Amino acid sequence: MLEIRNLTKIYEDGTLAVDNVSFTVPDGEFLIVIGLSGSGKSTLLRCINRLIDPTEGEILWNGVDLAKLEGDDLRKARRKIGMIFQHFNLVSRSSVMINILAGRLGYARTWPTLLHQFSKKDREKAWDILRRMDIEDQAMKLARELSGGQQQRVGISRALMQDPEMILADEPVASLDPVLAHSILNYLEKLNKEDKLTIICSLHYLDLVQRYATRVVGLRAGKLVYEGTREDIRKMTDEEFKSIYGEEAERITDGIEGALERSELQ
Amino acid sequence: MKSKKQQIYKPKPSLPSLVPPWLAGVLSAILPGLGQAFARQIRRGILILFSFATIIGLLVWRFRLAAPRDTGFMNIVNKAIYLQPLLTGITVVVGLLYLANIYDAVKLATIAGKPEKSKPFLIFIMLILAFFLLGWQIGQIDLYTLTTSFGDAGPALSRVLWPWSRAISFPEDTWRGIAVLETPCSDNPPPPTATLEDRPYLVVDPTCGEPTIQQATDNSGVEIIPGTTLEVKGYNFVPGVVVDLWWIDPATSQFRQRQEGQNVNVIPDENGEFTIDIIWPYRIIPPSYREGVSEWELQGRQITNVGDWEFSAEFNLAVEKMVETIFIGMMATFFGIILSLPFSFLAARNLMSANSFMLGIYYLVRLILNIIRSIEPLIWAILAVIIVGLGPWAGIIALTIHSIAALGKLYSEAIESINSGPIEAITATGANWFQIIVYGVIPQVIPPFVSFTIYRWDINIRMSTIIGLVGGGGIGYLLTQWIRVLDYRAAGIAVWFIALTVAILDYVSAAIRERFT
């Protein structure tokens, strides 16, 4: 279980990105974080695996405060948290295989890995995951030669190599077309249901939120302004909507998509 | 800070001038800029004062330099203007600048307090003109000599541009025809030279006689008594090739037959024969060789080409040194890469900003690299020559030091400009610093590294030709020597080699860079 308590992040330039946020994510949850661009979603996700150091607050994961970890302990904790990114963050000049094996770096011994040597077990694991992600035939290509959807599947594969218990997904489908977006989120849902992984995912499109989320939190200007289930989203009132997306946002139809289009424009 | 900035761009229009316009003019006439200051344009006043003082100072210096031996104001001025007429022009411009300054002060005082603005265009133009003319005078710019004497460079230039006659040579052999003479004539003078087959020989008639003698006369002059006239006939020489006449005196020293201030030589006819009359020359001979009858030898020497052409010694040397140069550049680049790599990671801010200790290292490494880079390789070469002596090793050391600094900076900037996304992703997997470098950083920096490295190799080879000037080995060393002995053709060969190598290298490096990006 992940419990976030009074998390605050103030950047060096004084920007208050996350403002006293607290919430709890039970294991096996598919939590979706919504909010406008700049509302602090990315910062919040990166604070969880400490890519960004929080200014204050606790991040209790299975009883350990991630916010206090340093050095080896931090790296060991990170191994169990996979992360996928909006822009995939693959090493574009390395092969798909190397990109996926990189997910194993936290487990492998340092010196062999510096020469790109991985154990046979790790390599077999990588092939298994490649098969599962349907990109087996791309393994020896350079990452940059792949299409966007394929690249994101490599990104997921890399996260899976970590044997994660939780996956952080920072707007994983924002760079993809709607069809690919569904296919990627389907993968994540499968991981959530079949592998019982906890998933924390930030998203923009409320239709996707309705379809995949088991729980939703909304951020606005770094503050937690909404918490609810998938059903709550469907029944979301105008007020709740405006509390997340601002006074100027308007719901054009009853459907949430229209409202989103509008709010996205701003 | 903000209010100060506004002051620069928007002079306060609200405040009226402290003095009336005419007084502002008078003040500026006493001290340039003072009137402007009283008209509430203190910055402009200070600027005008300092520029005016600088120009006056420079002008005084130039006047004194033009007439260093004169004293007294008018003497110096007259002499300086006589020697350097341009100084008059500068003085006139400075006068105009002075007047423009007074005009500006009057105008400023008039419009102070009104929303109008006055920009000191006139002063600005006069300032630029004054500095330009001073620069012309200090730089001793002389377009007249440049254009009229341009042709003087012709001979040297043509040799440098087309030096190839120096690139080949023919193996030479010396043919000698010999005749023996004696002095004074004994009862038994040497017989005429025997006829030879295939080899040249000289026949001299008579075979004995007296050399030319110099005698002191009564009125302390010198009287020359000419020696015996000898008829020299040559046989079996190579037709059409010059024959020089040489003597070997009894003391066995060699000297050339000279007549009327010129070395005597003769060209054999188509049968390889010639006939020439010469006078037995004067020669100081040690007394011990003068006793009794002594033997002299006359030689006809002919230098002939034998066999085919071959590359000249200069050409071969240039090739050798060019190869040496390329390898100096290569080794320097090689050492530079190895030694700059660790520095480049330490000098990359995005890798070194984790904590203040690392940031401290970052600043220190940056500082060291900047200091090393700001010292020219030529100076490093001089130091290296002191340590390891002349030769390529000194050049390699100098270029290596400079390469470390230059590559360290370029590499670290390449690292700083990489995409942070992959690094973030690799960090998120729990990888340590070394693994992040190998998996997240290195794949991204390979293209710029290759590109910078090739570029550096290119620079190092060009630079190693310069390093040679101070003894750092390579072709530059030869080039300086040949230029100093005015052997422009040989120098031209070196220049051609350098140009060709650089051109080829440029092409190769472009091709390699294309492949890696």
Q: How confident is the model over B146-157, as pLDDT tens digits?
A: 999 888 888 889
pLDDT in tens, B250-270: 888 899 998 888 888 899 988
Same topology between domain B172-306 and domain B313-516 = no
Whether residue A164 is preceded by a cis peptide bond, meaning omega within 30 degrees of 0, is no
Average pLDDT value for chain B: 87
Q: Note whether B429 contacts A162, CB cutoff 8 Å.
A: yes
For the sheet containing B274-279, what is the strand order?
B201-205, B229-235, B274-279
Q: Give the residue on A whose Cα is nearest the Cα of B446.
A: A93
Give pLDDT, residue B14. Answer: 53
Task: Give the separation between CA B163 and CA B487, rounded to whole angstroms.
Answer: 10
Q: Which residue has the higher pLDDT, B132 or B41?
A: B132
Task: Give the separation between CA B460 and CA B413, rounded to whole angstroms.
Answer: 20
- B contacts of A114 (beta carbons < 8 Å): 434-435, 438
Q: Which of B4-18, B74-88, B175-189 has the highest mean pLDDT?
A: B74-88
Mean pLDDT of B2-13: 45
Residue B9 clears pLDDT 60, i.e. is over it: no
Q: Give the residue on A whose Cα is nearest the Cα of B438.
A: A114
Alpha helices in A18-119, H assignment, sequence order: 41-48, 71-79, 96-101, 110-114
Percentage of chain B beyond pLDDT 70 is 97
By three-state DSSP, how is residue A15 classified?
coil
Q: Give the residue on A whose Cα is nearest the Cα of B516.
A: A93
Q: Which residue has the higher pLDDT, B78 or B194?
A: B78
Burial of A237 (0-12, 13-18, 19+ CB in 10 A): exposed
pLDDT-flagged residues of chain A (< 50): 253-262, 264-266
Q: Which of A78, A92, A94 sits opposite B430 (nearest CB)?
A: A78
CATH for the B172-306 domain, from 3.90.550, 2.60.40, 3.10.20, 1.50.10: 2.60.40
CATH superfamily of A2-80+166-265: P-loop containing nucleotide triphosphate hydrolases (3.40.50.300)
Provide φ and ψ at B432, rounded to 5°.
-90, 180
- A contacts of B434 (beta carbons < 8 Å): 110, 114
Length of chain B: 517
**If one looks up domain B313-516 in CATH, what number appears?**
1.10.3720.10
Percentage of chain B beyond pLDDT 90 is 30
Location of each CATH 3.40.50.300 domain in chain A: 2-80+166-265
Q: Give the residue on B whose Cα is nearest the Cα of A110.
A: B435
Domain map of chain B by residue range?
2-141, 172-306, 313-516
Q: Note whether A89 contacts B424, CB cutoff 8 Å.
A: yes
Q: Note whether B425 contacts A93, CB cutoff 8 Å.
A: no
Q: How far is the alpha carbon of A165 from chain B, nearest alpha carbon, in Å?
A: 13
B437's CB contacts (< 8 A; 6+ apart) are B345, B351
Number of CB pairs, chain A paired with chain B, less than 8 A apart: 83
**CB-based contact, B517 to chain A, within 8 Å:** no
How confident is residue B447, by pLDDT bands cut at 50, 70 and 90?
A: confident
Give pLDDT, residue B61. Answer: 92
Q: Which of A87, A105, A107 sits opposite B421 (nearest CB)?
A: A87
Q: Which residue has the higher pLDDT, B195 or B10?
A: B195
